[in-house]
Amino acid sequence: MRVLVISLVLLTWWTLPGVAQDASPSEPTTAACSFDDGKEMSVRYTKAPDRRGEEMHDGKLWEAGGSPMLLFTQTGLTLGHADLPPGAYSMYVIPKKKTWTLVVSSNVSSAGKYDEKQDLVREAMELGELSHTAEEPEVAFGKIGPKQCSMNVYYGKQGAWTTFEEK
């Protein structure tokens, strides 16, 4: 009987954190793109439905879903004129009326605040209007060549994109 009670307590203790995690509205979502050589780049971000309606302020740093997007790459990448070695990076968006800017930072500390001094590249993104409203931030990739992936960021009535190239 004692073994049964201990087993039930341990089982409850192990499964409750999993149940609580599943109920969280801000679980990370991942978008990925694979290159022809099998290497991959991915972006982890939070859709955070509890932040619906958050505003993007013209020219101010914006964190999709309330936290930085995280870029993971198994291969060297080129974004604009900057080379990014394999590794992990934080990404932010600076929205303006006619263009958005993607910021890639070397700071991936979860406790760290954004620090402009750690920016590796700021790349202008092309901008377009969506036919529908994206109520949650969304990131998607499109493979546009053997060594090219277009990263698309959608929010509200706007979508922006830029191209990463495998080195």
Q: Is residue 83 part of a domain?
A: yes
125 pLDDT higher than 90 = yes
The number of folded domains in the chain is 1
Q: Is residue 87 part of a domain?
A: yes
Round to whole Å and give the CA distance between 150 and 164: 6
Lowest mean pLDDT among 16-20, 21-25, 122-126, 145-149: 16-20
Residue-wise pLDDT tens digits, 21-44: 333 456 889 999 999 999 999 999
SS3 for 2?
Answer: helix
Report pTM: 0.80
9 pLDDT higher than 50 = no
C-alpha distances (whole Å) from 19 to each of 7, 59, 139, 150 are 18, 40, 27, 36
Q: Is residue 19 part of a domain?
A: no
pLDDT recorded at residue 103: 97
146 pLDDT higher than 90 = yes
Q: Is residue 81 part of a domain?
A: yes
Could you list the residue range(s) of the whole structural domain that residue 30 is in? 25-166
Residue-wise pLDDT tens digits, 35-86: 999 999 999 998 865 454 556 778 899 888 788 999 999 999 999 999 999 9
Q: Which of 150, 111, 157, 115 is nearest to 132 (CA)?
A: 157
